[in-house]
Amino acid sequence: MDRRLTPIIHHKVPLIRVMSAFCRSLAELARCRSGNILPLSALAIFAVAALIGGAVDISRGWRVQTRLQAACDAGVLAGRRAVTSNGFDTTANTQAENYFYANFNVDKQGVGETTFLTTSADRGSTISAVATTTLPPIMMQLFGFEGFDLRAACTASMEVGNSDIMMVLDTTGSMGWTLSGSSQTRIQALRASMKSFYDTVSAAASGTNARIRYGFVPYSSSVNVGRLILDRDPDYLVDSWTIQSRRAIRRTNGTFQSWE
């Protein structure tokens, strides 16, 4: 060891003197114009690379997060649509998963382990799901960044509001005619259609607080009011009336040319 350093080793130097010497060295380095560009550029390269790498990986993470959320929404909507009288069963859950993975291609997104878990506490009236995935970095792994843990939550439910349904039915004698190609009459087909409509609406409103009210009116007396007007005053109805019209202009050979 250099003997000139012996006094420094055997005597304690105040910390303020050490810091002052370090600051002077940095100041001299900043003022020096001989060969400083190389070490400064080397340090700057790492900083610039970290900034660029961070921007690239963050943009990838945002893109995958947006796609994950959209796929999660599509999955629960498809699962809710597939719910039947059996509730949120295996078939509906499979439908939800199929739609999720159809909208979120794991290979194309370049992600790692991906999960999509669905739950329903009310037999399918409301379906909730949580989708998770991991996105490995491209640039920032050089700086020890392990990646993004992405998560999306979504919910789909069916709500039936209060509704008033008014049925206008034709109950005239013509409804007793037989349908073409069938032994069923028109009024029988109307009754079957009304029953099917009621069953569909009732099933949709089952288990909800929705209030459905039905009303029925005959077409002949409540909608087709021509007879009522005639009975009140025959002058309200006329046999003919002159209205503004257009005249067709034809060519000399008799073919149509334009309207006047």
Summarised one tens digit per residue, pLDDT across range 22-56 is 677 777 766 766 666 766 677 777 777 777 877 88
One domain for residues 136 and 200: no
Same domain? For 48 and 153 the reply is: yes
CA 65, CA 16: separation in Å to the nearest integer?
Answer: 51
**Angstrom distance (rounded) from CA 101 to CA 148:** 20
Q: Which of 139, 157, 175 is the last residue of a domain?
A: 157
Domain count for the chain, please give it.
2
Domain-embedded: residue 249: no
Q: What percent of the chain has pLDDT over 70?
A: 83
Would you state the pLDDT for residue 254? 77
193 and 232: one domain? yes
Does the residue 223 lie in any domain?
yes
pLDDT tens-digit readout, 54-73: 788 888 889 999 999 999 99
Of 138, 129, 125, 126, the residue nearest 101 (C-alpha): 129
150 and 173 share one domain:
no
Token pair, residue 95, equals 């439908």
Instruction: Look at residues 157, 178, 197 and tell me which one is the last residue of a structural domain.
Output: 157
- Across the chain, mean pLDDT equals 81
Query: 235 falls in which pLDDT band (50, 70, 90)?
Result: confident
What's the token pair of residue 71?
């796929």
Query: Strand 256-259 relative to strand 148-157: parallel, antiparallel, unpaired?
Result: unpaired
Number of H helices and number of E strands within the chain?
8, 7
Is the pLDDT confidence value at 5 over 60?
A: no
For residues 127 and 59, membership in a common domain is answered with yes
Task: Decide if 173 is inside a domain.
Answer: yes
Helices (H), the chain: 6-10, 15-31, 37-81, 90-103, 106-109, 186-205, 219-222, 226-232
Position 202 in a domain: yes
DSSP tag of 116 = E
What would the mean pLDDT of 229-242 be, rounded to a whole number?
Answer: 81
Identify whether residues 141 and 68 lie together within a single domain.
Answer: yes
Q: Are residues 130 and 179 in the same domain?
A: no
The DSSP symbol for 179 reads P
In-domain check, residue 260: no
What is the domain range of residue 218?
A: 164-241
Whole-angstrom distance, CA of residue 64 vs CA of residue 67: 5
The residue among 143 and 65 whose pLDDT is bigger is: 65
Q: Is the pLDDT of residue 133 over 50?
A: yes
How much is the pLDDT for 14? 56
For 147: left if phi > 0, alpha if psi spans -120 to 50, otherwise beta; the answer is: left
CA distance 248 to 260: 6
- Look at residue 8 in the predicted model and tell me its pLDDT: 42
Quickly state the pLDDT bin for 1 (edges 50, 70, 90): very low
Last residue of a domain, one of 157, 172, 194: 157
Residue listed under structure tokens 């050979």? 253
Q: Give a yes or no: residue 214 inside a domain.
A: yes
